Amino acid sequence: MSTDRFTRKALQVPAAQELVLSHVAAGHTELISTVTSDRRTLAETVQAPHDYPAFRRSGMDGYAVRAQDTVPDDGELPWLEVIDDVPCGAVPKEAITAGTAARIMTGAQVPEGADAVVMLEVTEQHVENGRKLVTVKKPAASGQHITPIGFEIPSGEVLLKPGRLIGPGELSVLATFGVHQVNVYRKPVVGIFSTGSELLDITDPLEPGKIRNSNTHMLAAQIVEAGAEPVVMDAIPDDIELAKAKVEEALKAYDLVVTTGGVSVGDYDIMGDLVRSGSMDMLFNKVAMRPGSVTTAAVQDGRLLFALSGNPGACYVGFLLFVRPAIRKMLGMPKDKLRLPSWSAKLGRAYTKVNNFTRFVRGTLEVSDGQVVAYPAQLDESSVMVTIKDSSCLIIIPPELKGASEGTEVNVLLLPGALH
Amino acid sequence: MSTDRFTRKALQVPAAQELVLSHVAAGHTELISTVTSDRRTLAETVQAPHDYPAFRRSGMDGYAVRAQDTVPDDGELPWLEVIDDVPCGAVPKEAITAGTAARIMTGAQVPEGADAVVMLEVTEQHVENGRKLVTVKKPAASGQHITPIGFEIPSGEVLLKPGRLIGPGELSVLATFGVHQVNVYRKPVVGIFSTGSELLDITDPLEPGKIRNSNTHMLAAQIVEAGAEPVVMDAIPDDIELAKAKVEEALKAYDLVVTTGGVSVGDYDIMGDLVRSGSMDMLFNKVAMRPGSVTTAAVQDGRLLFALSGNPGACYVGFLLFVRPAIRKMLGMPKDKLRLPSWSAKLGRAYTKVNNFTRFVRGTLEVSDGQVVAYPAQLDESSVMVTIKDSSCLIIIPPELKGASEGTEVNVLLLPGALH
């Protein structure tokens, strides 16, 4: 078995991502109340059930008139009799006919017969013999300040498509059209555990030779951001039988399982050994990337197991490159939204490390004079966990570059939420 | 009173923002379990309670040796006696002395006496008379593959500062150092209600002249994104006494109150009238911006009331420019993180509307050859709610531009979460 450990075949990142995604499908759906659907992913097409606006809507506070009645007659300003007052939400009581007008508010329904709204500011009001009159000081054009029925959205128009992440703008649209229940994809439940006899719990005092288990807590937050629900299980010591039992149990209970640690090429490669033991189908156990070259993925009965590196930096990147796209596909998101957004940028500082594998270097993104500039973090060893919190992008340094000088054109992957 | 409505003094956006922020302070704090602190804001300085690594850590699977023992003697490869096996989490049983080595794993504690780790791949193992021996095929340099104590973070170093939003990277750091409880700012509770006799609930069937209340649901999602907790109250009809009672009640119950609607210059300017009635201190009731020029802010007993426009687009922008920074300041975030991030960009398409006020045009952001390009949405009337969901930025068009041609340099504000 130790031969296998050393003769792993490294996949390129895009090929490994494709392989993972080919084993994932959109998950189950559920009908929920729209007011609780923020950050959920839509599982249906939503079409406009009616025109919007559903009535001819006034765009101004003023008077609804017939445009032809506002033209001065022989230099004489026209005056019109005010026969109605239409606040928002009201139904006009009377139609506008020659010589009449209705007081109207922004957003209110324009009465039948009127074909224009004139602003309050271009009118003068007076009362004559108990009759309310209005003088229009500037002729109106037909249609002015009236939003026609269906102008914003005609009935039947597709408002939202399946796979759409619901946020403030989507909620505005759904509420506007009275869509008070929506089908969304069920959140995948993701089981997480760490392996390693060196791991202490976050509440444990430090012991010689040991470190605290930090990756599961980091992963839990990453899983929430990805749109799924994390379940953190206890860490297990380096014991292949225990790991096997735990993975079997987790793959039965959860939609996806992520482990961290136990995938080195050393003697305690328990997750690697487990994946190679034949109880599941290995997708890959080496990826041509730094950090995280030992990232391993397998599938059992249609459920994915990701065995990520125990190095915090490698674990972080491995999650974003492989697990996050899988979760997003389970959430029914479209193909072009599965991976992290990729931008072109200029390198703001030289990055001189050379590697046979593509490097995903944590860095920060700045925009200077409309130009995107990416600065690699100063410390970039895979074990250095402190730079994760300060990064806004992963800078892709392919091996062909053999290091990269300041100003080199690179591609960067935007980290979730990092620009706010 | 109607005179006041028409003679409002318009503040510029930055001045209005400053005025709001001068009336807000960081709120109360609470001690919570770190594993539940994702998306919360830190209210204390966290310093490293110990060195990290806390022991000399092996960076490779291989053997811990004395570098001087790996130099060939007269062309003869050195061999060393393997006296220990140190897996991760274990404490070495013996110190390394001349002629000895210890098998060691990545991440394990390097034994006393050893000053280098050699990779497994450059060694050969053999057993002679029951003694385990290792041959080192390449001389080691002192210090190689050993991460010194405190190399990543020395004890006492500031890890995180107050006002820091906690995410995956911060959780990794906190867990690593066993910081299992943290002081965070309490989430401000924000009461929201709409005003307008035209408003139907999301579950109501459509009625003539009426529209559904969509803004409170949009605002609730925006408030969650900003880090606060929304409480959606029922909409109220246009009735100043009712509005006054509701605002009084809300300002007692919640840390902040946001209303939408009732701030036009028409007859139903109930929120405007309320603010001018003297029961509270008005900060402003006009801002030199489109959409949202009627955005109003007031303060009563140290609590802020924001009366946003009822137009969905204006409500959305008003929240982001004024309410979100206030919430973030209540969460103790630093000055440079309160407002939306601002980038320079080139306009990808002409924007020809001219206005005396600064326009905040919803648009999409793209990066092409490392250059940020902003495309204004095609429909940009303040009432058009459909573009909110498709926007990733607000393009700032100052009045001096008198419209802007394709390629014009503009500033854009990044919308929360819009790039993912």
Amino acid letter at B277? S
Chain B residue with the nearest C-alpha to that of A411: B370
Amino acid letter at A73? D
Structurally, chain B folds into a number of domains equal to: 4
Distance, in Å, from the CA atom of B96 to the CA atom of A349, rounded to the nearest integer, reads: 42
Of A169, A178, A222, the CB nearest to B388: A169
Q: Which of A160, A389, A390, A392 to mutate to test the interface with B (most CBs of B within 10 A)?
A: A389
Distance, in Å, from the CA atom of B28 to the CA atom of B332, rounded to the nearest integer, reads: 10
Residues A47 and A65 in one domain: no
Beta strands at B189-194 and B256-260: parallel, antiparallel or unpaired: parallel
Residues in A touching B388 (Cβ below 8 Å)? 168-169, 172-173
Residues in B touching A87 (Cβ below 8 Å)? 197-198, 238, 267-268
Residue where a domain stops, chosen among A95, A128, A147: A147
pLDDT digit string (tens) for chain A, length 420 residues: 334 555 678 999 999 999 999 999 999 999 999 999 999 999 999 999 999 999 999 999 999 999 999 999 888 888 999 999 999 899 999 999 999 999 999 889 999 999 999 999 999 999 999 999 999 999 999 999 999 999 989 999 999 999 999 999 999 999 999 999 999 999 999 999 999 889 999 999 999 999 999 999 999 999 999 999 999 999 998 888 999 999 999 999 999 999 999 887 665 678 888 888 878 999 999 999 999 999 999 999 999 999 999 989 999 999 999 999 999 999 999 999 999 999 999 999 999 888 889 999 999 999 988 999 999 987 655 556 788 999 999 999 999 887 799 999 999 999 998 776
Q: Does A413 touch chain B (CB under 8 A)?
A: no
A420 within some domain:
no
Residues B222 and B290 in one domain: yes
Q: Does A384 touch chain B (CB under 8 A)?
A: yes
How many residues does this entry show for chain A?
Answer: 420
Give the domain CATH number at A204: 3.40.980.10
Chain A residue with the nearest C-alpha to that of B411: A370
CA geometry: angle at B71 spanning B67 and B77, to 5°?
125
pLDDT given at position A3 = 41
Are B414 and A414 in contact (CB < 8 Å)?
A: no
Residues in B touching A267 (Cβ below 8 Å)? 61, 87, 103, 105
Structure-token pair, residue A73? 């007659």
Of B34, B105, B176, the CB nearest to A268: B105
Residues B276 and B295 in one domain: yes
Residues A252 and A382 in one domain: no
Residues A36 and A181 in one domain: yes
pLDDT digit string (tens) for chain B, length 420 residues: 334 555 678 999 999 999 999 999 999 999 999 999 999 999 999 999 999 999 999 999 999 999 999 999 888 888 999 999 999 899 999 999 999 999 999 889 999 999 999 999 999 999 999 999 999 999 999 999 999 999 989 999 999 999 999 999 999 999 999 999 999 999 999 999 999 989 999 999 999 999 999 999 999 999 999 999 999 999 998 888 999 999 999 999 999 999 999 887 665 678 888 888 878 899 999 999 999 999 999 999 999 999 999 989 999 999 999 999 999 999 999 999 999 999 999 999 999 888 889 999 999 999 988 999 999 987 655 556 788 999 999 999 999 887 799 999 999 999 998 776
A419 within some domain:
no
Amino acid letter at A21? L
Structure-token pair, residue A290? 């730094």
Q: Does B7 touch chain A (CB under 8 A)?
A: no
A387 within some domain:
yes
Residues B283 and B310 in one domain: yes
Q: Which domain holds residue A77?
A: 57-147
Q: Does B169 touch chain A (CB under 8 A)?
A: yes
3-state SS of chain B is CHHHHHCCCCECHHHHHHHHHCCCCCCCEEEEEHHHCCCCEECCCEECCCCECCCCEECCCEEEECHHHHCCECCECCEEEEEEEECCCCCCCCCCCCCEEEEECCCCECCCCCCEEEEHHHEEEEEECCEEEEEECCCCCCCCCEECCCCCECCCCEEECCCCECCHHHHHHHHHCCCCEEEEECCCEEEEEEECCCEECCCCCCCCCCEECCHHHHHHHHHHHHCCEEEECCCECCCHHHHHHHHHHHHHHCCEEEEECCCCCCCCCHHHHHHHCCCCEEEECCECEECCCCCEEEEECCEEEEEECCCHHHHHHHHHHHHHHHHHHHCCCCHHHCCCCEEEEEECCCECCCCCCEEEEEEEEEEECCEEEEEECCCCCCCCCCCHHHCCEEEEECHHHCCECCCCEEEEEECCCCCC
How far CA A131 is from CA of A78, A81, A134, A171, A240, in Å, comes to: 15, 7, 10, 46, 93
Residues A64 and A172 in one domain: no
Quote the longest CA-to-CA distance of chain A.
106
Residues B244 and B299 in one domain: yes
Give the domain CATH number at B85: 2.170.190.11
Chain A and chain B share a number of CB contacts under 8 A equal to 322
Q: Which of B144, B200, B211 to mutate to test the interface with A (most CBs of A within 10 A)?
A: B211
Q: Which of A121, A386, A395, A414 to mutate to test the interface with B (most CBs of B within 10 A)?
A: A386
Q: Does A4 touch chain B (CB under 8 A)?
A: no
ipTM (interface pTM)? 0.93
B308 within some domain:
yes
A313 within some domain:
yes
Give the domain CATH number at B175: 3.90.105.10
